[in-house]
Amino acid sequence: MTASFSFSGANEFMKTYLFTLTLFCLNIALLAGKTWAKQNPDVTVEAVNLIRSGWMAGGYGNYRITITNNTNHPITLVKWTAHWEINGTALPEEWGGDIQKSLNPHAVYNLDQVGYLPQDVAQKAGALTPFVAGTVEIEDGGKTYQRPYLFAVPVAKLPEPLVLVTSRYVGCRLMKSRYKAFPSVHRALSWMDDCYKAMRDLTGNTPYQGRRIIYTEAPPNPYWAYAGESITLNTDYVGSTIEDFNKGIISFGWVHEMGHDFDDGIGQWYIWNGPAAEFWANFKLTYALTHIPSNILVRWHYADGYPLPNGEHNIPMTGEDLLLKYYFVNGEGYLSDSARNWQSIGTDDMHALFQSIQVVYGWDVFKGFFRVYQRLKAEGLKPPSTAEDKISLIVAILNQEAKVDLVPLFRRWRFDITDESVKAMADKYHLASIKK
């Protein structure tokens, strides 16, 4: 016997079946929706290129990654990654870093970064626009997830060809039209030659095996300028610099970047962090601006707590005024704040300490100081690997050159050194120890 049912019965059965199946799927969907909401927090990640005109090939740009927590509970931002993409294809090099930050409900966190556009990436892109792509890793309820971001980075170029003008030690490579408004270009370069000779006199160093340092105009970037055998000048500031040169005012920035260049080959011995790198560049700047002709002025301001008359900010001043009215007294804020230690000391604070040593004991101490490093390098010795040891070696060398014990002075400035740590560096590098 075979089973049978009428069409109308089958129709009712199908209706009941479909209704039951729909309820079942709806429940599954709702459950899945709850799971998705928990495992995929309502967090948005957006990124923007802050230099919309683009980044120079072989140059820097900056960007911002914005993370918004739209949930009703805290989440943890774990880390971020980034890589270059061309036409949707990821290039192999990746960068990024830890965040490890709790983000409260409905809060926003901005991660500001400086990036670099390699020459080979720009070449591979050709007529296409390269992109920076990446992820932000988020932890929520013990689970981690990634949120992607993407932004375009056009390859920036200046609107005109560059023209090179040189002097004995330096040169400038600027857009052709700049020279129409730069009648003082040869005088300016002769001043920079004077600064070069002064820094060579101070350090005993000749950067880049004596090749010229060239100031090169470049598209906008996150910096006023940055150092190298070719010093990169942000085009946004070249015009005002030329105006100052024409008025008989030397560029603080041009001299500062040259100061970085005179760390070539030896800076790893005495630069212990980023602020120290900036300080040593300015220390050489101070020597140069106090040893070139006295009628050359620089535009700057007085130290913190010493306002300029009439509410002015930057004024033309001599190199000697820059030394005495800015660097020499600019560490008072640090010294008066007992909560701060050497790890928080800023560029101008540490400059005040070293400038005071120079004022008391003379520039010859520092001429000897830099030449000790030249000797240690020539002997094939290796620089200290930690900031503490580099500072202890600095003090050991200054003790030898000044023939005094400067440990108490550095301790007053809350540097974490001891008689023992300085003696250990003196012994390791065969320096004269100061008798107590």
Quote the pLDDT of residue 141. Answer: 87
| pLDDT surpassing 60 at residue 39 | no
Quote the pLDDT of residue 311. Answer: 84
> Over the stretch 41-64, which tens digit does the pLDDT of each residue have?
489 999 999 998 999 999 999 999
| pLDDT surpassing 70 at residue 19 | no
| pLDDT surpassing 80 at residue 40 | no
Q: What is the mean pLDDT of residues 265-291?
A: 97
Facing residues of 131 across strands? 85, 152
The residue out of 140, 156, 172 marking a domain boundary is 156
Question: Looking at residue 317, which CATH number applies to its domain?
Answer: 1.10.390
Domain count, the chain: 2
| pLDDT surpassing 70 at residue 237 | yes
Q: What is the mean pLDDT of residues 159-171?
A: 98
- Distance CA(343)–CA(137), nearest Å, equals 30
Quote the pLDDT of residue 435. Answer: 67
**Quick check: is 306 in a domain?**
yes
Q: Are residues 143 and 211 in the same domain?
A: no
- 124 or 22, higher pLDDT: 124
Q: Are residues 120 and 164 in the same domain?
A: no
Of 165-169, 182-186, 308-312, 372-376, minimum mean pLDDT range: 308-312
**What's the gap between Cα 170 and its chain centre?**
25
- Work out the number of other CB atoms within 10 angstroms of the CB of residue 230: 16
Q: Are residues 128 and 261 in the same domain?
A: no
| pLDDT surpassing 60 at residue 18 | no
CA distances 283 to 179, 241, 279, 328, 347, Å, are 31, 21, 6, 11, 10
> Over the stretch 197-211, which tens digit does the pLDDT of each residue have?
999 999 999 999 999
- Distance CA(170)–CA(213), nearest Å, equals 5
Expressed as residue numbers, the domain containing 92 is 43-156
Quote the pLDDT of residue 294. Answer: 81
Q: Are residues 91 and 227 in the same domain?
A: no
Query: How much is the mean pLDDT over the chain?
Result: 91
**Quick check: is 412 in a domain?**
no
**Quick check: is 22 in a domain?**
no
| 132: nearest Cα among 163, 98, 96 | 96
Q: What is the mean pLDDT of residues 350-361?
A: 97
**Quick check: is 149 in a domain?**
yes
The encoded tokens of residue 50 equal: 């802050």
Quote the pLDDT of residue 12. Answer: 43
Quote the pLDDT of residue 20. Answer: 41
Question: Looking at residue 71, which CATH number applies to its domain?
Answer: 2.60.40.10
Q: Are residues 261 and 371 in the same domain?
A: yes
Q: Are residues 109 and 204 in the same domain?
A: no
Quote the pLDDT of residue 112. Answer: 98
Percent of the chain past pLDDT 90, that is, above it, reads: 86
Contact (Cβ atoms closer than 8 angstroms) between residue 400 and residue 427: no
Q: Are residues 139 and 170 in the same domain?
A: no
Of 60-69, 212-221, 304-313, minimum mean pLDDT range: 304-313
The single residue listed with the structure tokens 């630069």 is: 271
Q: What is the mean pLDDT of residues 390-415?
A: 97
**Quick check: is 209 in a domain?**
yes
Q: Are residues 329 and 224 in the same domain?
A: yes
CA distances 151 to 54, 132, 174, Å, are 11, 6, 30
**Quick check: is 326 in a domain?**
yes
Quote the pLDDT of residue 313. Answer: 85
Q: Are residues 212 and 127 in the same domain?
A: no
Quote the pLDDT of residue 38. Answer: 40
Q: Are residues 253 and 219 in the same domain?
A: yes
- 397 or 31, higher pLDDT: 397
| pLDDT surpassing 80 at residue 8 | no
Q: Are residues 164 and 84 in the same domain?
A: no
Of 26-40, 74-88, 262-276, minimum mean pLDDT range: 26-40
CA distances 366 to 109, 344, 369, 373, 403, Å, are 45, 24, 4, 11, 12
Q: Read off φ and ψ for residue 184, nearest 5 degrees.
A: -95, 15
